[in-house]
Amino acid sequence: MTEVVIQKWLDEISRTVAAHNHAAHMQLISRDVSLQGVPGFDNIGFDDWSKQCQYEFANQLIRRVDYGKFRVRAATEKRIMFLTHETVTANDGTVTAQGIECLLEKEDDGQWRLVQERILSAEETRQYDLEPASTS
């Protein structure tokens, strides 16, 4: 069950990015989200995340987001923490690849949403042996 939830969520993130569907994409992100590890920022919340995605989607800056295999760190009925490798491909050919730690939570409406994401350092990504996404 845990693996199915994670894979479905990752697939939906990828699908909404490729479709540049801002509304559907933000439905996968909790209003209480906290993104950590972005250089130059202590923490990014929902409003800033939404504005950035709106800009990127409206201008079709991102071509796709792909994920490598994931590794479950902990799971309960309402929370799942996992690690994966994320590859973001921009329309100009720029590729950003990094390990990430994600915490999904099943919110009151029954929807699994991202409540926390932490970008891993290169050292942590190697330590956890996260496989890059296949972008073929």
124 φ, ψ (degrees, to nearest 5): -65, -40
- Two structure tokens written together for 42: 């202590």
Is the pLDDT score of 135 beyond 60? no
The model carries a pTM of 0.92
15-34 tens-digit pLDDT: 999 999 999 999 999 999 99
d(CA 113, CA 104): 5
Among 9, 1, 34, smallest CA distance to 84 is for 9
Q: Which helix (H) or strand (E) holds 114?
A: strand 112-119
82-97 tens-digit pLDDT: 999 999 999 999 999 9
21 φ, ψ (degrees, to nearest 5): -100, 90
Domains with residue ranges and CATH for the chain: 2-127 (3.10.450.50)
